[in-house]
Amino acid sequence: MLTSKEIRQQFIDFFVSKQHTVVESDTVIPRNDPTLLFTNAGMNQFKNIFLGEIEPKELRVVDSQKCIRAGGKHNDLDEVGRDGYHHTFFEMLGNWSFGDYYKKEAIMWAWELITDVWKLPKEKLYATVHESDQEAFDLWKEHTDIDPTHILFDGDKDNFWEMGETGPCGPCSEIHYDRGTDYCGVEGEHDCRVNGDCHRYIELWNLVFMQYFRNKDRSLTPLKMKHVDTGAGFERLCQVLQGHNSNYDTDLFVPILKKISELTGVEYSRDEQGVPHRVIADHIRALSFSIADGGIPSNEGRGYVIRRILRRAARMGRLLNMKKPFLYKIVPTLIEIMGHHFTELKEQQEYVEMIIKGEEERFNLTLDKGLVKFDEMIEKTERTTLSGDNAFMLYDTYGFPLDLTIIIAEEKGYIVDTDGFEKKMQEQKERARSASSFKVELDNKEWTVLGEDVPTEFLGYENTTVEVSIIKYRLNHDNSVMFILDKTPFYAESGGQVADTGIVSNDDFEIEVSEVKKSGEQFIHIGKLKSGMINDKKVTASIDTFRRRRIASNHTATHLLHAALKKVLGDHVQQKGSLVTADYLRFDFTHFNGMKPAEIAEVEKLVRAEITNASLVETKLMTPDEAKEDGATALFGEKYGDVVRVVSLSNFSKELCGGTHVSNSAEIGMIKILSESSSSAGIRRIEAITGEAVYNYYEKKESLLNDVASLLKAKHEKIADKVQQLIDLNKEIEKELKTIKSQAAGSEIDNLISSAVEINTVKVAAGKVAIDNSNELRNAGDTLRQKLGSGIGILIAEIKGKVSLLTVVTDDLKKQYPAGKIVGQLAEFVDGRGGGRPDMAMAGGKSIDKIPTALENVENIIKSF
Ligand code: SER
């Protein structure tokens, strides 16, 4: 039987024999495409080749792409675990033609591989083609020996592939495999059909003939060239080629399921009962790969999807009686299966396990609280529907993703008002939006158009002032304005670097720019119209160069810091986020423990040395491959064929970066790390300042030092000695004070005893004392008790604005007059309560003004015993 490893390799080898070049899988977290939650198809990394934006280096490539479909247009989350072939994470094997071969070869080769190399029985194979694609139909018929009655036409839903709402697309031809009537799964009268509604036929491979671009208005524009994008579901191929019924029976999953059984003590079963095992086995793959590629559970965007996947898996763990974190323990098994091909898993093992474990721990806490809340909610619900408000509360306060609430509700026989939930979500989004400063939204109706709608060209690497044109703008009543330029020196907020600010003006008007954001290929400048009225004449766009220099200094320093951290702490240090502003820089990175002071000092020293070295900052444009060969950091996530910008400083630092930098490290002047702290599990955060800011920082320190020196009337060098003397003196005084106080308290107590009265023949000494802390009060109580010989002592003191009561009773009397009871009754007179042992007890009260009343009542209380 072929192993999964062999199947992947045979696919690649087959296309290499057809002159394809092997390309690595893109990361599963898209780095440069905020519109995409996850890499959800092999074609993501080739999108700009399809669009004709860049030239491909090779015309034919082959790869195995890691994909996640758990949100957005392609979302398989709900199917996972219920059938044997839908996954959140899966591999897609693909062969690609960039303007080279087209339909004929794509069809012939797919058929050759499946029937000649892999020898799948031809009578079980079907091909579908788009209803408009007679050409593909004919090619199947003429160039393969498929049974012609097995070539079927179908509509857009299954035979027209689109990336998303917009983007490259085209008709496609799918290859399906007939698993036999046993797999149908539908009860009663039923007609099994390819692309029908049963499980008999499964799709193995999709051959997409890319030739259009889908526009926002749904119309299609032909691409410059025609391309081939194929995607074969790797796990399904393994199922069929290994002769199994389910992907979960292949060698990709069996060891994982075994591990889950071993950890939970619950045997895996292939039927409905095995859903939790299957969901966990699926989800651990999505989690491990997404985290290894830089994803992290959080409350928004893709981070939230990762959190949801983890929570679903943890929840399934509960069904298998697991209350403690255990998902992370499955990671090593996954690495055994896949680590040889996807080495990033192995490299990041420790980190991946730590993130998963931490998140499991957090979730277990919320889950317990949420489940209690859930039960309360359904107790109060008469109908069998959980309201949208309740579902939203579980989401918002207890971190229950909606799908989790649905699962739990189903288990208890409830359904969830999902519309109501969505409504609440929408309301929350509206609130968040109206709270944010300036809404950036492109809506052509509201723009005043002055010129041709072209991408904005960024000239800010070399220029700070440029003559340019406003393409379009949008002006509000309060003179706030957004506009787009054809060219600009303004850096738009990206890669952690804040935007430039400055002025855009001509003789007729002036705009102060405060923010710049990217929207696709254009830069949106946001600001205030200060004078005049915007017109279509040329404008001068100038950035605040002083501010830019400070930003550049912080950005270059961030690179030096990154490199120094790697050198001091080790290669596991990976950038997890950064913020570069004019005032300071922030850098988040993976590291397990807090940094020691000596490590921070070492990092600072390395960066300082590099600043003093006056290294030239060089920027070069190259392909990702060249950059990788050159040893640049942070390479992953670049799309194949991209041109990347590599910023390097001598041999010290080499990073991919689109930001603006100083031209020589000496311009940074100085660096100072202000803090090192934890940002989230496994991620540390450094905040630092450079240049003038360091000078200002030390100047403030110096002025503080001057203030202290003048208070102490000492020179700076003598300050420490002087302070030490003061501390010693203070200690001595405290000691003396303590003696004096206890003497005073002693004489107070003596006075109390000498003015003691007899009540019921018992000696009672009661009174207010000038004591201001409870320890001393207790000491005074002890002394009083000793000195009394036989009797009851009551002390009342004002401590921190409240009343403190203490009662002591000598051993001969404590049975009849328990101190705890006396103090309790006494406390009621000062609006308080308390109690304690029969020989000594304390109480507190609120009302200082009622102390005399309490004292007046001592006699009555004692008499009542
Ligand atoms: N783009 C197609 C898919 O994702 C084929 O690779 O199914």
Distance from the CA of 54 to the center of ligand 1, in angstroms? 21
Q: Average of pLDDT values for 297-310? A: 84
Q: Is the pLDDT of residue 441 over 50?
A: no
How far, rounded to the nearest angstrom, does the alpha carbon of residue 656 sit from its chain's CA centroid?
22
Q: CA distances (Å), 751 to each of 359, 451, 756, 773, 806, in order?
A: 64, 97, 9, 20, 17
Grade residue 836 by pLDDT with cuts at 50, 70 and 90. Answer: confident
Compute how many other C-beta atoms are within 10 angstroms of the C-beta atom of residue 316. 24
Atom from ligand 1 closest to the CA of residue 206? 5
Q: How far is the CA of 659 from the centre of ligand 1 (A)?
A: 34
Ligand 1 pocket test target in 40, 229, 230 with most atoms within 8 Å of CB: 229
Compute the average pLDDT of residues 413-426. 89
Q: How far is the CA of 432 from the centre of ligand 1 (A)?
A: 36
Does residue 93's CB lie within 6 angstroms of at least one atom of ligand 1?
Answer: no
More confident residue, 126 or 475: 126
User: For the chain, what is the mean pLDDT?
Assistant: 90
Q: Which of 92, 128, 158 has most ligand 1 atoms within 8 Å of its beta carbon, as the pocket-test mutant? A: 92
Q: pLDDT tens for residues 349-376?
A: 988 998 899 889 988 888 888 888 888 8
Cβ of 241 closer than 6 Å to ligand 1, yes or no, is no
Query: Does the beta carbon of 205 lie inside 6 Å of ligand 1?
Result: no
Nearest atom, ligand 1, residue 41 CA: 4
Residue 67 CA, closest ligand 1 atom number: 4
Q: How far is the CA of 104 from the centre of ligand 1 (A)?
A: 18
Calculate Rg over the CA atoms of the chain: 37
- The answer to whether 533 and 509 are in contact (CB under 8 A) is yes
Pocket test for ligand 1, best of 36, 43, 175 (most atoms within 8 A of CB): 43
Position 34 scores a pLDDT of 59
Q: How many CA atoms lie within 13 A of 843 on its CB side?
A: 30
233 ligand 1 Cβ < 6 A: no
Contact 114 CB / ligand 1 (< 6 Å): no
Edge-to-edge strands, sheet with 671-680: 575-580, 585-590, 683-690, 671-680
Q: Give the CA angle between residues 605, 608, 609 to the nearest 5°.
A: 85
Please give the distance, rounded to the nearest whole angstrom, from the Cα atom of residue 169 to the centre of ligand 1: 10
Give the model's pLDDT for residue 436: 36
How much is the pLDDT for 400? Answer: 81
pLDDT of residue 364: 87
Kindly report the protein residue whose alpha carbon is nearest to atom 5 of ligand 1: 231
| CA 231 to ligand 1: nearest atom | 6
Ligand 1: does its nearest atom lie under 6 Å from the Cβ of 42?
yes
Structure confidence at residue 639 (pLDDT): 57
Check if 253 has its Cβ closer than 6 Å to any atom of ligand 1.
no
Q: Does residue 842 contact residue 806 with C-beta atoms inside 8 Å? A: yes
Separation of 639 CA from ligand 1 center, angstroms?
17
- Encode pLDDT of 55-86 as tens digits: 888 999 999 999 998 866 566 677 788 888 89
- pLDDT tier at 440 (50, 70, 90 boundaries)? very low
pLDDT, average across residues 284-307: 88
CB of 168 sitting under 6 A from ligand 1: no
pLDDT reported for residue 722 = 94
- Cβ atoms of 806 and 835 within 8 Å: the answer is no
Q: How many angstroms does the Cα of residue 176 sit away from the middle of ligand 1? A: 14
Give the pLDDT score at 443: 39
Parallel/antiparallel/unpaired status of strands 480-485 and 470-475: antiparallel
- The pLDDT score that the predictor gives to residue 477 is 83
Torsion of CA 333, 337, 340, 341, to 10 degrees: -130
| Strand partners of residue 65 | 92
The confidence score (pLDDT) of residue 437 equals 34
Q: Is the pLDDT of residue 249 over 90?
A: yes
| DSSP code of residue 664 | B
Ligand 1 contacts CB of residue 351 (under 6 A): no
Query: What number of helices (H) and strands (E) belong to the chain?
Result: 24, 34
For residues 382 and 530, the model is more confident at: 530
Q: What residues form DSSP beta bridges with 472?
A: 449, 484
Q: Which two tokens stand for residue 271?
A: 């039927």
Separation of alpha carbons 486 and 521, rounded Å: 11
Per-residue pLDDT, 445: 45
pLDDT value of residue 638: 53
CA 504 to chain centre: 37
Among 843, 747, 759, 763, which Cα is nearest to 795's?
843
pLDDT: is 664 or 189 the higher one?
A: 664
Is residue 206 within 6 Å of ligand 1 at its C-beta? yes
Q: How far is the CA of 288 from the centre of ligand 1 (A)?
A: 23
> Over 80: is that where the pLDDT of 495 sits?
yes
CB 2 within 8 A of CB 243: no
> Where is pLDDT greater, at 273 or 431?
273
Residues in the chain: 865
Burial call 787-812: b when 16+ CB within 10 Å, e when fewer: ebeebbbbbbbeeeeebbbbbbbbee
Q: How confident is the model at residue 99 (pLDDT cuts 50, 70, 90)?
A: very high
Q: Report the residue among 44, 64, 173, 208 best suited for mutation to probe ligand 1: largest number of ligand atoms under 8 A from its CB.
A: 208
Going from the Cα of 144 to the center of ligand 1, the distance in angstroms, rounded, reads 22
DSSP 8-class letter at 116: I
Around 44, how many Cα atoms within 13 Å sit in the side-chain half-sphere? 30
- Check pocket membership of 170 for ligand 1, CB cut-off 6 A: no
pLDDT at res. 439: 36
For residues 378 and 475, what is the distance between their CA atoms, to the nearest angstrom? Answer: 51
Residues in CB range of 133: below 8 A, 6 or more apart: 159, 171, 173, 209
pLDDT in tens, 19-39: 999 999 999 988 666 567 889
For residue 207, which atom of ligand 1 is closest to its CA?
A: 5
Rounded CA separation 477/338 (Å): 59
The CA 25 to ligand 1 mean position distance, Å, reads: 14
Q: What is the pLDDT of residues 154-196, one digit of tens each?
A: 999 999 999 877 889 999 999 999 999 888 888 888 889 999 9
Q: How far apart are CA 519 and CA 657, in angstroms?
A: 19
Q: Tell me, using a 6 A CB cutoff, whether residue 84 lines ligand 1.
A: no
Which atom belonging to ligand 1 lies closest to the Cα atom of 208?
5
> Shortest CA distance to 529 belongs to which of 595, 491, 465, 473?
473
735, HSE (Cβ side, Cα atoms, 13 Å): 6
Helix, coil or strand: residue 283? helix
pLDDT at position 442: 39
What pLDDT does residue 402 have? Answer: 82
Q: CA-to-CA distance for 243 and 83, rounded, in angstroms?
A: 17
Q: SS3 of 656, please?
A: strand
Residue to mutate (ligand 1; options 206, 230, 237; most atoms within 8 A of CB): 206
Say what the pLDDT of residue 438 is: 37
Cβ–ligand 1 contact at 126 (below 6 Å): no
In angstroms, the CA 464 to CA 513 distance is: 14
Instruction: Output the pTM of the full model.
Output: 0.65
Question: Measuring from atom 6 of ligand 1, which residue has the nearest CA?
Answer: 231
Q: What three-state secondary structure class fits 94? A: strand
Residue with the smallest CA separation from ligand 1 atom 4 is: 41
Q: Is the pLDDT of residue 151 over 90?
A: yes
- Which backbone phi and psi does 92 adopt, to 5 degrees? -120, 120
Measured by CA distance, the residue closest to atom 2 of ligand 1 is: 231
Give residue 42 CA to ligand 1 midpoint distance, Å: 6
% of the chain beyond a pLDDT of 90: 67
8 A C-beta contact, residue 276 and residue 9:
no
